[in-house]
Chain A
């Protein structure tokens, strides 16, 4: 007989996959515990702080009192001593005279009303004058009509109290949201859950649905066509500006060399000039020198290679269609090999243990232009127009949560036979018109 409930699922190799029912139950329990903690926290805060202060403001009866004595109460807290003002007052209620130590309503709880600064407590005490044998000043006070021995000299709410509520309130929000989400998905198939998630994603906050004429999972590429070209329709943006690579080399060079320099200074101080540390830090110092040389070299190349510009006659692209490209490379350099290609890359994101990894692989390359031994002089950029034929049957651009198919025009400049400068200009390829229109 088929079981409707399993503690564990299929065995895969040496491990068993978890039961979805147990997993969902655990998830629901987790959210419920979070929700209960939040609710409990709110209830405790309400009854400990809000309700007593509300009663003082709305139910306590006003009268006057005289101050008999005053002192600073002190007790040891976890982070040091805590203080509170304590004022001995005398007041009459219904012919009965009450004398006790009071200040605010929190003093009537065990260890209540304390705070960290002694000078604050002293400042409060300084507001009250102790009555001598002669008639002294009288101060307003408020007593509890259900228990007249409870009285206060101040009323109002503590403003910081409302901020404390944000902690349990966030527990309530997260717990309730998680619980509702888990219960909504309870007993539903993977397909039904996917449909629910899609409906949420497709609706924006104003209730508008997604455009039914749009291509699903095909990026819009709006940022690609927001810059008009000079010769052709659009100027294509670059994925990574070379200045960032240069900046990265500079940061590495500075951090590495400063670290090694400081380490050598400390080593010299501790071990003397012929210390063992030189054997350790000499190779690291050589790496630092290498980093400086690399940075200077990159800087020299970057100053020689001027801005590169790529314009296109139309966008987005369609398989089988032809477009024109305009390439402009400024600078002062000799390029051994300049290539322009249309490339397609697959990008996959996957979980490995607790890490998320992303892998990219070039899967298609169509060379559009190639020129060797190209001399570029300052003030006279190399400019050329070329054809871009998107191959028939090319897969369209695709973007989902974990998988992507991206197209780009890549310009590669081989400067000295060892280093190749690559610039990538992303483009969007739509499904072929025949595929979409039939």
Chain B
């Protein structure tokens, strides 16, 4: 167990490439000595853009778990999540624009501290852009 808290995310299956309409599932846990100090965790499945333009982001699935819910949750133990992936937008590796899908888990500790873990995956089969236009 590490001194600094970390979020561990594991995806089912090969965990790298998924198709639209497929179910993405997995589990996460907070690897910390004081995992009982986590008051809430947000699990998001989202896409965001990278590259030259300002960032665009959209959340496909969002779920917030409170530690003192009914029943109480121990975030030090694996917690499952699952979602059906949408038809678009597909993952893309362009020249100025990159579209990335990921599972993001954000843990909120009692003293206001936040720890974020992220696990990227590919949606669809769009190959990286290799064909360059003539000069």
Contacts and interface: CB of A to CB of B under 8 A. Distances in A.
A181 interface: no
Contacts of B22: 438
Interface in A349-403: 349-351, 359, 361-365, 393-396, 398, 400-403
B1 interface: no
A4 B99 CA distance: 32
A436 B87 CA distance: 5
Tell me whether chain B's interface is mostly helix, strand or loop, or mixed: loop
B67 interface: no
B133 A437 contact: no
B111 A2 contact: yes
A215 interface: yes
Given A348-B97, A431-B20, A194 B112 contact: no
B133 A403 contact: no
Contacts of B58: 194, 198, 216-217, 400
Given A218-B89, A364-B131, A194 B111 contact: no
A120 interface: no
A217 B86 CA distance: 11
A195 B62 contact: yes
B59 A435 contact: no
A394 B131 CA distance: 11
Interface stretch (B25-33, B45-53, B69-77): B45-53
Interface residues of A, number: 46
Contacts of B97: 346, 348, 398, 403, 405
A348 B96 contact: yes
A97 to B, nearest CB: 76
A189 interface: yes
Interface in A139-166: none
A359 B59 CA distance: 26
Given A194-B59, A350-B54, A189 B87 contact: no
Contact of A396 (B42, B89, B114, B133): B89
Contacts of A351: 54
A5 interface: yes
A364 B20 contact: no
Nearest to B95: A363
Interface string B104-117: 10100101111000
Contacts of B87: 215-216, 431, 435-436
A217 B88 CA distance: 7
Interface string B75-102: 0000000000011111010111101000
A87 B104 CA distance: 78
A52 B14 CA distance: 78
B96 A361 contact: yes
Interface of B: 19-22, 42, 44, 46, 49, 51-59, 62, 64, 86-90, 92, 94-97, 99, 104, 106, 109, 111-114, 124-127, 129, 131-134
Interface of A: 1-5, 189-192, 194-195, 198, 215-218, 343, 346-351, 359, 361-365, 393-396, 398, 400-403, 405, 431-432, 434-438
The 8 closest A-B pairs by CB, nearest first: A4-B112, A348-B53, A400-B56, A2-B113, A438-B19, A191-B44, A402-B54, A348-B52
